[in-house]
Amino acid sequence: MSQHSEDLDTLIKRRGAIKAKLTIFRNYIKPLTSFSSLTDLQRFELEGRYERIQCLYNDFDKLQTEIETLLDAPDDDFKSRCEFEDQYHPTVALARSLLSATTNSEGSGRVHTNVRLPKIDLPHFDGSVQGWLEFKDTYISLIHNNKCNDDIMRFHYLRSCLRGSAALVIKNIDFTSENYNNAWDLLCQRYDKDQLLIHNHVQALFSVAPCSKESSKSLRYLIDVTNKNIRALKTLKQPTEHWDTLIIFMISQKLDSSTSRYWEEHRNKLSEPPTLNQFIFFIENQINLLEKIEENSKINLKSKETNNNNYNNKSTNYIIQSNSNQIQSNHSKCPLCNENHLLYTCETFRSLPTEVRIEKAKNFKVCMNCLRLGHTDRTCKLSHCKYCKARHNTLLHSEPERSAASNPMPGADNVAFSANFEHSNTASFILLSTAMVRVRGADGTKHPARVLLDNVKAVHIELVTALSSEAYIAALKIFVSRRSKPRSIWSDNGTNFVGACNELKGVLSNSDIASFMSQEGIDFNFSPPYSPHFNGLAEAAVKATKGHLKKLLSLTHLTYEEMSSCLCQIEAILNSRPLTPISSDPLDLTALTPAHFLIGRPLTSVPHPQITDGNITRLERYQRVELIRQHFWKRFINEYISLLQQKSKWSTSTGSLIPGTLVLVKDRTLPALLWPLGRITKTYPGSDGITRVAEVKTRTGTVVRGFNSICPLPLH
């Protein structure tokens, strides 16, 4: 029995060696599948290995038969034979296919070996139903049915192809190879609906824009849209071949008057009802005719301009030749200092006030746009003023004087200017305008009152789905609908902001609405490129808010609705900050906030218990939004309190807090939008006579706090 066991172990080891040879051949042949064609060296090596691997099956069969003969239960080892055959036959077939492909490619010659085909870009899908069929067919052909790609590669390609709302469909699916089929099925379930696709393509046919005038561009667009939707409906197995009469009638209503007349004349000459192909053929002939006419018109216009330029050049040359030296010297000499330089480079001219520069330019009869002699500003083709874009030089730009607002109340005593602001070491005064008004009470009695005419730094946060001009214009429309039209907008030099400005300027330049929008336009002001700090406090506030948001939003992924809700709640926190006391009444514990200027009262929030769970992944979706809001509240209240507290080194005493001052008390346990305000009722001086502790009356009672735990609100 021992000899029998030794023979069996020897046979099993020999069988393992044969399996190892097969594994080595599989590992060698697998990278060769990624090459488009094999080189001569690779082909020769593959042929040699393939010849040796062919006899491997016979050797394995002999050893496996002997092993099964020596075993008492040969069925137990039958699995080894199945595994070997499942690996051997596919490997041999793959080697034969590589060799046959190499042999076939040799018959076509080596002329095309260096030809490099252009790169095929992957399609993109943004959720529009019209683009689903094109995206689906292209993606399935390039990625989904490509056997060289595994599921994790397909999933990566799928995520890179999706944009906008389509990307949100699979955004929350874990990025694993097992979830690829689930993501693709979910995407097909959302968009691969025949009824919805048919409805959208039919709607696109009926809603195509009509041609306003006879042009090849508008007719080409009309035919392209029609053909595109007809082909899509035909792909969806719709009987489009029976719709000729209906489609011809519908598209003919979109034609301009000239093309429609020509079509009616052509149709009257036909003995039978026209087909859709005949209609499209007629429109394409009209397009070709219009393109030729437009091209000839451009050529004639260009040749006419060339002739005019040649005539002008000849006339100018004639004048210059008569006294060329004198004219050349006059044009290059400064009329102000008689030096050999142009007027706009003259330091003496630049040092003059703007009004004097304008007067000098008029006296010298130079072009007001470029400050050169020889032409006027109407014919000048150089750039205009960089500040107001008017037809004058930047050195001649002057700000228009703004007339003072008319006094609504008789007498100079009705309007006063009084306010102050206390710095850390010195006290300076800032003038804020006030006005006397009459307020009608509930009983109809009029009472005189003084109101503060001041700006308020309110915050409005709008969520956009893309950094594009279209998304910015949509956000601007939402802002105008909610907050009314702004007079001016200050922003950085982002391409989306500049593009939106150009779009709005294009609308304003329309002759039909130019007269109306001339007084209603929005003044766009852009900071220099790569210099957003030029916007001052506004950009600083944006940077601080974005800094907190980036830290908080990195904790989890939110949907569009959750993100919008979170931003609205953060906007409420920013607009609830106390600015200054509403009154000097010691019993009044309320402060003026930006919300008073927006809705006329302080902002409130829905109460929610404090979330103490540190792991955000274990929370429900609404609890995640609430956790982010609570985190932002804790960060913002600490930062706002630090801004109110003076941190600079004192050189002189600025005075102590007096009873009746409205202060903000530090309390990190309060919920969002609940600012702990109180009035100082009593102060406690120390042994050195300096007051460092105060008694504060709040809504919940009286507390004693040090000056480092309270922040007085500015009175003005």
pLDDT tens by residue, 524-562: 666 666 556 555 555 656 666 777 677 777 777 788 888
Residue 508 scores a pLDDT above 60: no
Dig out the tokens for 653 from the structure.
């005493």
Over the stretch 125-144, which tens digit does the pLDDT of each residue have? Answer: 888 777 787 788 788 888 88
What's the confidence (pLDDT) of residue 406?
Answer: 39
What's the confidence (pLDDT) of residue 284?
Answer: 86
Over the stretch 68-121, which tens digit does the pLDDT of each residue have? Answer: 787 776 666 777 888 888 888 888 888 888 877 765 555 444 444 455 667 677
Residue 404 scores a pLDDT above 70: no
Write the burial class of residue 298 (CB in 10 Å: 0-12 exposed, 13-18 middle, 19+ buried): exposed
Over the stretch 317-366, which tens digit does the pLDDT of each residue have? Answer: 443 344 444 444 455 678 888 888 888 888 888 888 888 888 888 888 88
Q: Give me the chain's average pLDDT, please.
A: 74
| Nearest of 522, 544, 524 to residue 533 by alpha carbon | 544
Q: Cα-flanking dihedrals φ and ψ of residue 64, to 5°?
A: -65, -35
* 3-class secondary structure, 665: strand
What residues does 638 pair with on adjacent strands?
Answer: none
Are 373 and 331 spatial neighbours (Cβ–Cβ below 8 Å)? Answer: yes
Over the stretch 372-395, which tens digit does the pLDDT of each residue have? Answer: 888 888 888 888 887 787 888 888
Over the stretch 162-194, which tens digit does the pLDDT of each residue have? Answer: 888 888 888 888 888 888 888 888 888 888 777
* 3-class secondary structure, 302: helix
What's the confidence (pLDDT) of residue 544?
Answer: 64
Are 681 and 695 spatial neighbours (Cβ–Cβ below 8 Å)? Answer: yes
What's the confidence (pLDDT) of residue 450?
Answer: 64
For residue 59, give the H/E element and its range: helix 56-70
What's the confidence (pLDDT) of residue 66?
Answer: 82
Whole-angstrom distance, CA of residue 430 vs CA of residue 421: 7
Q: What ranges do the domains of the chain cover?
A: 2-106, 129-192, 210-293, 333-396, 412-453
Residue 645 scores a pLDDT above 70: no
| Nearest of 465, 410, 460, 467 to residue 435 by alpha carbon | 410
Over the stretch 416-458, which tens digit does the pLDDT of each residue have? Answer: 333 333 333 333 333 445 667 777 776 778 778 765 554 556 7
Q: Cα-flanking dihedrals φ and ψ of residue 274, to 5°?
A: -70, 150
For residue 297, what pLDDT band results from cuts at 50, 70 and 90? confident
Phi-psi region of 271 (alpha: psi -120 to 50; beta: other; left: phi over 0): alpha
For residue 598, what pLDDT band results from cuts at 50, 70 and 90? confident
**pTM for the full predicted model:** 0.35
